Amino acid sequence: MRIRNAMTALGLVAMLASAGYATTAAAAPAATANSATETIKTFDGDYGVTSDNGFQLPAIPIQKVKPQFRRQIVEYKTDEAEGTIIVNTRERHLYYILGNGEAMRYGIGVGKQGFSWSGTAYVAWKQEWPNWHPPKEMAVRRPEIAKYVDGGMNPGLSNPLGARAMYLYNEKGQDTLFRLHGTPEWASIGTAASSGCIRLINQDVIDLYSRVLPGRSTKVIVIQ
């Protein structure tokens, strides 16, 4: 399939104030791509048991994941530079631009209605097996996680940020509080289940993490 829709980007931050996320917007430049894509290569064999930094990630029953949400290289025409990340929340896909008309495509889970956002940002920094610090506003909605607001949840197989996290900042250098991160909940990929961040299967976020160089040159475009 090829993506032919012109993308007009909105400001970064359409989250409700009650979600506790940043409210500083950043305008996104227009971008174009082709919406129907043709698969060049698939990676169904990369979802087995994975040993990583002392943790043993369980195998993903990949046949239970819809084919369009499994990692694959696809044809993707865009004017964006190699290394750009384009997140299409409507399609539930994240594209890492490889150049030469190709992209690595990953299935994603996105924010629930009312927690969605769009615009441009950049990957300011990234972390392997991160701690999780939920915002206070989230703890009000979910009292059972209040103990993690200050101390954080230690890295582990049940940590909501999974095996990797990439932290998105706006053009002013401010933390948006949005992340690209892993998840132990592989069945949520392809759904709107998170509180706003973009989640990937752990094996996929490890692959994406290895490709991303933090800095302003690593642009992230999020399309609704």
Strands (E), 155-214: 164-169, 175-183, 192-194, 198-201
> Other CB atoms closer than 10 Å to residue 199's CB: what's the count?
29
- What is d(CA 113, CA 51) in angstroms, rounded to the nearest whole number? 35
The single-letter code of the amino acid at 205 is V
> Other CB atoms closer than 10 Å to residue 150's CB: what's the count?
9
Neighbouring-strand partners of residue 35: none
Q: Both tokens of residue 54?
A: 């002392």
Pairing of strands 93-99, 164-169: unpaired
Half-sphere exposure of 195 (CA within 13 A, CB side): 17
Measured over the CA atoms of residue 76, residue 79, residue 81 and residue 86, the dihedral's sign is: negative
| CB contact at 8 A, 198 and 224 | no
- What is d(CA 163, CA 187) in angstroms, rounded to the nearest whole number? 16
- What is d(CA 213, CA 10) in angstroms, rounded to the nearest whole number? 25
Q: Which residues are designated catalytic?
A: 181, 197
